[in-house]
Amino acid sequence: MTDEAVVAVGLVKEFGSVKALGGIDLTVKRGQVVGLLGPNGAGKTTVVRILSTLLMPTSGYAKVAGFDVVKNPAEVRREIGLTGQYAAVNEYLTGRENLAMFGALYHLPAKYVREKSAELLESFELTDAADRPAKTYSGGMRRRLDLASSLIAQPSILFLDEPTTGLDPRSRLGMWDVINGLVADGTTVLLTTQYLEEADQLADEIVVIDHGRVIAQGTAETLKDQIGGDRIEISVIDPTRVTDAVDAIRTVSSGEPAVEGLTISAPVSGGSTVLVSAIRALDVQGVEVGDILLRRPTLDDVFLSLTGHAAEEDAAPSDEPKKRGKGRK
């Protein structure tokens, strides 16, 4: 068994004249959570569908759990679990029956499936609803059942393709807890998401893709450092003193201050001590401020800096130029 759960080299996928992937390189080490971050249409779902053997690459190659996704698809499928953008549950079956169905598809022993289903239903807080039809479940419950179904065969590698899309904030936090629990138990996770906070919270490493290509990768902190580290922001009370405030902030900043209305921001280094220096400089200038803070860059800042546009969190989830099915293979 290698230390690398997923390896992709030069993955290209074309749909006619449309190039969905332009040569993706990706490595996920065992026990890691790697977040594949990008806007709709960036190619995230295409990557996952190739790695889970649902799509053939046009060129390049990928290995999952040491098996080639093209030459050894059956072996790959035995090693992975997949949760897509839509909850792939049968709404006319109960929660327990859905788990039994997936157990049968994996040809697992009936006794094992019964015991594992009970364990998963309890872990995902679905025991009370286990014998109700899935069509009576909330969106968050369906998501949890979908994830439970992908775990019935105890996969070592889990692909989560935008698992919290459409969930309310409470359900999203609950799903984060579930994912953290799986990782603590040794599961390797490749997570695609448009939600920048989600990647920040869950991923050990982040790969940013846009227009089918990797444009940056590293830890969340590394990516944030690449765009200039901390920023100081102040709000001036008197509009006539903005220029004086800019002069004061220049003495403590590592770059030219930016002005937007009565708010001035600038990159700084030195951590919280810079706040003291800034207050002293403003006091020397006699500038009264309404607010002053030191802000760490967010992944929103990173994404905007890298791509020139914000993540399109509210757009329809799709990165392939033709309609996809919603099932799991």
Residues 224/296, Cβ–Cβ less than 8 Å: yes
Domains of the chain: 4-224 (3.40.50.300), 230-295 (3.30.70.100)
For residues 116 and 107, is the Cβ–Cβ distance under 8 A?
no
- 117 contacts 96 by C-beta, under 8 angstroms: yes
Q: What's the whole-model pTM score?
A: 0.76
Count of residues in the chain: 329
Tens digits of pLDDT across the chain (329 residues)? 568 999 999 999 999 999 999 999 999 999 999 999 888 888 999 999 999 999 999 999 999 999 999 999 999 999 999 987 777 889 999 999 999 999 999 899 999 999 999 999 998 889 999 999 999 999 889 988 998 999 999 999 999 998 887 778 888 888 888 889 889 989 999 999 878 788 888 999 999 998 999 998 999 888 877 766 788 999 999 999 999 999 999 999 888 888 989 999 888 877 778 889 999 999 999 999 999 998 877 777 777 777 766 665 433 344 554 443 334 43
Integer CA distances (angstroms), 270 to 142, 202, 231, 258, 275, in order: 47, 27, 11, 19, 9
pLDDT of residue 328: 42
C-alpha to C-alpha distance for 47 and 8, rounded to whole angstroms: 9
How does strand 33-37 pair with strand 80-83?
unpaired
Q: Regarding beta strands 289-295 and 231-236, do their DSSP bridges make them parallel or antiparallel, or are they unpaired?
A: antiparallel
- Nearest one of 212, 211, 194, 200 to 313, comparing CA atoms: 194
Beta strand spans in the chain (E)? 4-15, 18-29, 33-37, 59-64, 67-68, 80-83, 157-161, 188-193, 205-210, 213-218, 231-236, 258-260, 263-267, 289-295
Q: Provide the residue type at 238 as one letter.
A: D
Quote the Cα angle for 171-177-179, to 5°: 105
* Cα dist from 110 to 100, 122, 168, 188, 192, whole Å: 8, 18, 35, 26, 33
- Distance between CA atoms of residues 162 and 193, nearest Å: 5
